[in-house]
Structure 1
Amino acid sequence: MEATNMDSILFDLGNVLVHYDHKRALSALAALYGVDAEKVLHLYQEIAPAFGSGRIEPEEVVDLFNERFGAERSLEQFAEAFCSGLARNDAALAYAVSLRQEGELAIGVISNTNALHVAWLDDHAPELKEFDLVMMSNEVGMCKPDPEIFELAMELLNVPAQRILYIDDLEENVEAARKLGMTGVVHSDWAQTRRQIEAWRAARRHAVRPQ
């Protein structure tokens, strides 16, 4: 994509464009294996960095859980429980798509995720196919707040940091984007975030208007 003459908005996914309830997923996995949710959490924390950066595959994760908890669960059973905390945010996805359809902005996503969540998103959030950039940590081998993942996004979009607004629900990720020169918004609710997006857009229009 050639977006040199465009500004860009990059979104996080979890709890920004898509709902994610981590406790619900942990509870579902605990029920699947008949163990305490705290044990599930500890095991997941062991493998999360490797799973999130694509260094291990879903089948290996299931094998590890099965071995640790002395059970035989299928990949399908595991995936259903693991993804149970995900849900569409229809309004947020529609808003992001509307920004893309205006034709004035390059719209993208940078997400710390994993192969199972990506498969869920492929099935349940087809709107992402309309975006200019969808960057999943497990597919690029990097996770936020590593500055290299933001630098790769800028390279692929061909948009400099000063022309990008980055939105994430985690302060550390927003701060990493800001250090590279992007404008950053820490998302907490969509009413506030939409006001901040529109304020940024107005400022950008003023900045590029011929004097």
Structure 2
Amino acid sequence: MNKQNITGLFLDIGGVLLTDGWNRIARKKAAEYFKLDHDVMEDRHHITVETFELGKITLEEYLRRVVFVDHQNFEIQDFKEFIFAQSTGNFEMLSLIAALKKEHNLKIVIVSNESRELNEYRIKKFGLTDLADCFISSSFVRLRKPDTDMFKLALDISQVPAKQIIYIDDQLMFVHLAENFGINTIHHTDYQSTKAKLGSFGLCVINDSYNGSR
């Protein structure tokens, strides 16, 4: 490949730019903190999560189906704040992507499965509108990976040829799905290996710095 041919990056959020928003670790932590039956909560979550991440129900509706089916001695707002507090930034990755965007004039497209309120919170909290050109978020577009229409939509909206894109995700299944479109991919496991792989495509930076919220 011509090392100067990459003009766009497709990026997942959770596990790449930030911690996962509401994964099994966070749910287990919530069950322990609020003294809930973890197994029951997990069963309800898995029944509801697709509808939730497609933006068809609100966070409050999700919590009423998963947590507040029974009376609780805490409020919905308490649980919401707990969920939001689980998000932290991968500031090395945020800094790297910001620098690459500036130095190589890249188009940055977020392709992510996230519920609406959590996605909006994370976009604002970590200044992702300064980083990304557009957001193909499941709750915005009513599609959800592994539905391959997510990638079709991202390609249509970005108007960047597949061969000029690198898709970065920590989920290997989604990496393989993107490859079916002729998109270059990186399976993200850590900052150093991803930075090195980006460098192999000719995407290197002299100085990476990111000024998003800490």
TM-score tier by shorter-chain length is 0.7 to 0.9
- Determine if contact 1:166/1:174 at 8 Å carries over to the other structure: yes
SS of residue in 1 equivalent to 2:16: coil
- Determine if contact 2:108/2:134 at 8 Å carries over to the other structure: yes
- Determine if contact 2:28/2:38 at 8 Å carries over to the other structure: yes
Cα deviation digits, residues 20-47 of structure 1 (max 9, x gap): 3734421343146422222222211111
Between 1:27-36 and 1:147-156, the stretch displaced more is 27-36
TM-score (norm 2): 0.83
Cα deviation digits, residues 144-179 of structure 1 (max 9, x gap): 121111111111111121111101011110111000
* Structure 1 letter corresponding to 2:35: G
TM-score (norm 1): 0.84
Which has a greater percent of helix?
Answer: 1
Between 1:61-70 and 1:151-160, the stretch displaced more is 61-70
- Determine if contact 2:54/2:143 at 8 Å carries over to the other structure: yes
CA separation of 1:29 and 1:137: change in aligned 2, threshold 3 A: same
CA distance in 2, matches of 1:196, 1:66: 42
Equivalence for 2:212:
none
- Determine if contact 1:23/1:85 at 8 Å carries over to the other structure: no
* Structure 2 letter corresponding to 1:16: V
SS of residue in 2 equivalent to 1:86: coil
The alignment of Structure 1 onto Structure 2 pairs a total of residues equal to 198
Equivalence for 2:154:
153
Structure 1 alignment gaps of length 5 or more: 203-211
Q: Map of 1:109-120 to 2, 5 A cutoff?
A: 109-120=110-121
* Structure 1 letter corresponding to 2:127: P
Equivalence for 1:121:
122
- Determine if contact 1:28/1:82 at 8 Å carries over to the other structure: no
- Determine if contact 2:6/2:166 at 8 Å carries over to the other structure: no
Give the CA RMSD over aligned residues. Answer: 2.2
CA distance in 2, matches of 1:72, 1:177: 45
* Structure 2 letter corresponding to 1:174: V
* Structure 2 letter corresponding to 1:135: I
Cα deviation digits, residues 121-160 of structure 1 (max 9, x gap): 1342113433212221111101112111111111111112
CA distance in 1, matches of 2:186, 2:167: 6
* Structure 1 letter corresponding to 2:39: E
Structure 2 alignment gaps of length 5 or more: 204-214
CA distance in 1, matches of 2:187, 2:134: 20
